[in-house]
Amino acid sequence: MVKNMAIVSKGVKNILRTEVFDRLNGHFAVYKPADVLPGQVASRVKHALLRDLNELPDPYPESVVKIVPDEARLDHNPNALTALSVPSLAGHPLVKGRKYKSLRLRLLSEGHDLKSSGVMALALQEGVERVDFYKQARLPSQYIIHGRLGFATFSHDIEGTIVEKSTYGHVTQPKIEKVLSGLLRMSQKDIIRHSGVNIQSQEAYELASRNLLQPSGDIPCLLLDLRCSKFEPPDFEIEVHCLRESAQYLRKVINDVGLFLKTNAVSIKVRKIQEGPFSLDNCLLRKDWRLDPILDALRTCNPLMSTYKLLPIELQKDELLAKRLVKDNISKDITQEEERCFVHRAESAPLKE
Amino acid sequence: MYTRTLSSFRNVAERLASTECIKWKPSCVFNIDRLATSHNAKFCTEMKQRYHLKLTLQRNPLGKLSLVGIHTPQPALHKVFEPHKVTTIASIDVPHIDSVKTSVSEPSWMDESLPIEADEDLDILAPMDNPPVLEQFASLPLPSHTYTLASYVEHSITLQKLVELGVDLSKVEKKEGIPTELLKMDFETDIQEKLIYLNGIGVAGEKLGRFVTRNPHILLEEVEELQARVDYLKSKKFSDVAISQIVNRAPYFLSFSVLRVDRKLGYLQQLLDLKGTEVREVITKEPRLVTFKVSKIQENVFVLREQLGFRKSELKSLIIKEPKLLLRGKEHMVGIFDYVHNVMEIPHQVMLQTPKVFASRLHKIQERHQFLKSINRDNYDSTQPQYIPLEKLSRVPDSIFCDEIAKKPLEEYNAFLKTL
Question: pLDDT digit string (tens) for B148-195?
Answer: 889 888 888 899 999 999 999 999 999 988 998 888 888 888 899 999
For residue B84, count CB atoms less than 10 angstroms from its CB and return exposed for 0-12, middle for 13-18, buried for 19 or more.
exposed
Q: What is the mean pLDDT of residues B408-417?
A: 93
pLDDT number for residue B394? 82
A87 vs B267, more confident: B267
Q: How confident is the model at residue A135, as a pLDDT?
A: 84
**B137 to chain A: closest CA residue:** A67
Search chain B and give the residue with CA nearest A144: B419
**Cα of A46 to nearest chain B Cα, Å:** 20
Q: Are A237 and A229 in contact (CB under 8 A)?
A: yes
Helix (H) or strand (E) holding B282, with range, is helix B276-285
Chain B: which residues have CB within 8 Å of chain A?
103-105, 107, 129-131, 133, 137-138, 149-151, 153-154, 159-160, 163, 166-171, 363, 398, 414, 417-420
Q: What per-residue confidence (pLDDT) applies to A116?
A: 95
Chain A interface, mutation test: which of B105, B108, B111, B129, most A Cβ atoms within 10 Å? B129
Q: What is the dihedral of CA B402, B405, B407, B412, to 10 degrees?
A: -30
Which whole-number Å values give the CA distances from A67 to A86, A92, B14, B213, in the listed order? 11, 20, 39, 33
Residues of chain A with a CB closer than 8 angstroms to some CB in chain B: 31, 33-34, 67-69, 77-81, 89-98, 117, 271, 280, 283, 285-287
Average pLDDT, chain B: 79
Q: What is the pLDDT of residue A307?
A: 74
Q: Cα(B10)–Cα(B13) distance, rounded to whole angstroms? A: 5
Q: Is the pLDDT of residue B26 over 50?
A: no
Burial class (CB in 10 A: 0-12, 13-18, 19+), B188: exposed
- When scoring A41, A71, A82, A95 by the number of chain B Cβ atoms within 10 A, the one with the most, hence best to mutate, is A95
Q: In this predicted structure, what is the pLDDT of residue A214? A: 78
Residue B126 buriedness (CB in 10 A; 0-12 / 13-18 / 19+): exposed
Contacts of B375 (CB under 8 A, 6+ apart): B406, B408
- Chain B's closest residue to A269, CA to CA, is B420
pLDDT score, position B385? 82
More confident residue, B236 or B48: B236
Note if A52 is an active site residue: no
pTM over 0.80: no
Cα–Cα distance for residue pair B268/B260, rounded to 1 Å: 12
**What is the C-alpha to C-alpha distance for residues B394 and B392, in angstroms, rounded to an integer?**
6
Q: Which residue of A has its CA nearest to B367?
A: A33
Asked if the Cβ–Cβ distance from A89 to B419 is below 8 Å, we say: no
Of B137, B153, B171, the CB nearest to A90: B153
Q: Do A34 and B129 touch (CB under 8 A)?
A: no
Distance, CA of B127 to CA of B121 (rounded, Å) = 15
- B353 and B309 Cβ atoms separated by less than 8 Å: no
To the nearest whole angstrom, how far is the Cα of B167 from the nearest Cα of chain A?
7
Query: From the list A69, A81, A117, which residue is nearest B420 (CB)?
Result: A117
pLDDT for the residue numbered A142: 95
Among A44, A76, A79, the residue to mutate for chain B (most B Cβ within 10 A): A79
- Give the minimum alpha-carbon distance from B239 to chain A in angstroms, rounded to a whole number: 34
State whether the Cα torsion B133-B139-B144-B147 is positive or negative: positive
User: Chain A residue closest to B107 (CA)?
Assistant: A79
Per-residue pLDDT of chain A in tens (353 residues, 90 and over written 9): 333 333 434 444 556 788 888 889 899 999 999 999 999 999 999 999 999 999 888 777 788 887 777 777 777 776 777 788 888 888 888 998 888 999 999 999 888 999 999 999 999 998 898 888 888 778 899 999 999 999 999 999 999 999 999 999 999 999 999 999 999 999 988 888 888 888 888 888 888 887 777 787 788 899 999 999 999 989 999 999 999 999 999 999 999 999 999 999 999 999 999 998 999 999 999 999 999 999 999 988 888 887 767 776 656 556 666 666 555 544 344 455 555 555 555 455 444 43
User: Quick one: pLDDT at residue A133?
Assistant: 82
> pLDDT tens across B86-121, in order?
344 444 444 333 333 333 344 444 444 444 455 556
Whether A271 sits inside 8 A of B419 (CB atoms) is: yes
pLDDT at B92: 44
pLDDT greater at residue B405 or residue A119? A119
Percentage of chain B exceeding pLDDT 70: 69
pLDDT at B130: 61
The ipTM (two decimal places) reads: 0.80
Across the interface, whether the CB atoms of A283 and B154 are under 8 A apart is answered no
> Is the Cβ–Cβ distance between A123 and A302 less than 8 Å?
no
pLDDT of residue B296: 94
Segment B368-392 mean pLDDT: 87
Q: What is the CA radius of gyration of chain B?
A: 40
Helix (H, G, I), strand (E, B) or coil at A84: strand
Select which of A22, A58, A113, A225 is catalytic: A113
